[in-house]
Amino acid sequence: MKEIKHFLRFSDLAREELESLFELTGKIKKKFKTFERRQTLQDRTLVMVFEKSSTRTRLSFELGMSQLGGSSVYLNTNDSQLGRGEPVADSARVISRMCDLIMIRTFEQEMIETFAHNSTVPVINGLTDQHHPCQVLADIFTFIEKNGSIQGATVTWIGDSNNMCNSWIDAANVLDFNLNISSPPGYEPKNINDSGNVKFFSTPEVAVRNADIVTTDVWASMGFEEEIKARKLAFQKWQVNKALMSQASKNTIFMHCLPAHRGEEVTSEVIDGDQSLVWDEAENRLHVQKALMETLLLEL
């Protein structure tokens, strides 16, 4: 029996495991593009628990599992007992007895940790308030596909120090690339000390200099909608627009996990422009998560 390994945050995989996963992703993507079957997870089952909305995460996990020969079940808080107060630990014990793999999108990281602690099968974080590791896997694979290794590269995060930002911080530490972060006062990351690979900049224009990737995200993440008015004021100078991109290089890549709010955190000119790789990032969720599911379920 394979030892249970969860993917609750980016740093749950070591550098060597990530390198193998990205290599596997390349093979899986190539087969997909040439219509070759790859049914490595026949008869395996995935349960997906969603406590927040999703397009990409649901599609990529559900289609990914079915393309690999397995099947999946979608649960949400509205029509499962999870929304009616059944303890997380009890839900984890029951759900994990009936399937091979579980993916959860929820609010607090603590919920997913409690769930994983009581689960007899691997648990994947499909986004919490604190982390979004699957998206950063896809983003880094997207960079590697275009430019080769990310080691030593510079990624600049502009905006809210949210779940995506935290997963980029984890990734910079595990994969040894530079991460520059610029956020408005009051929205800075609390868990960095400007040492090692991660540096904080109060000015976005300085943060993007020498960047290989400039990336951003919505000003108010899911669960923070009531703060949107205050955030719209605070984040004005942290918009990724043509002027900001011109402080980097013409080869700098723009990334966004999507969904995006054009005219807020990014202008149409940038997200729909030549430097943007947002559609590749979205597609690569499918390929990278297939590799992740194989990594967690199979003896590779």
Residues of this chain that interact with ligand NVA (CB under 6 A) are: 127, 132, 162-164, 217-218, 221-222, 257
Interface pick for ligand CP out of 128, 135, 142, 239 (rule CB under 6 A): 135
Tokens of 204: 């976005």
| Distances, alpha carbon 247 to alpha carbons 206, 252, 259, 266, in Å | 8, 10, 25, 15
Asked about 280 being catalytic, the answer comes back as: no
102 vs 91: CA distance, rounded Å:
11
Burial class (CB in 10 A: 0-12, 13-18, 19+), 298: exposed
Task: Considering the complex, state which of residue 217 and residue 281 has its C-beta at the smaller distance from ligand NVA.
Answer: 217
254-293 positions binding ligand CP, by CB under 6 A:
257-258
Of the residues 217, 231, 287, 289, only one is catalytic, namely: 217
Asked about 39 being catalytic, the answer comes back as: no
192 vs 110: CA distance, rounded Å:
20
Q: Determine if 119 is a binding residue for ligand CP (CB under 6 A).
A: no
Q: Which contiguous run of DSSP H or E holds residue 109? A: helix 109-117
Count of residues binding ligand CP (CB under 6 A)?
A: 8
Closest CA to 163 of 110, 107, 204, 225: 107
Closest residue to ligand NVA, judged by C-beta, is 221
Asked about 257 being catalytic, the answer comes back as: yes
Of the residues 130, 257, 287, 289, only one is catalytic, namely: 257
Alpha carbon 40 to chain centroid, angstroms:
24
232-261 positions binding ligand CP, by CB under 6 A:
257-258
Name the one residue in this structure whose structure tokens are 């990310």.
150
Site string for ligand CP, 168-207 (x = CB under 6 A): ----------------------------------------
Span near ligand CP by CB under 6 A; candidates 49-57, 78-86, 95-103, 106-114: 49-57
Asked about 90 being catalytic, the answer comes back as: no
State in angstroms the smallest separation of the CB of 262 from ligand NVA.
15
Residue 72 contact among ligand CP, ligand NVA, none, beta carbon within 5 to 8 Å by kind: none
- Single-letter code of the amino acid located at 81: Q
Contact 192, 198 (CB under 8 A): yes
Task: Considering the complex, state which of residue 13 and residue 282 has its C-beta at the smaller distance from ligand CP.
Answer: 282
290 vs 44: CA distance, rounded Å:
13
State in angstroms the smallest separation of the CB of 159 from ligand NVA.
10
Return the DSSP state at 146. Answer: H
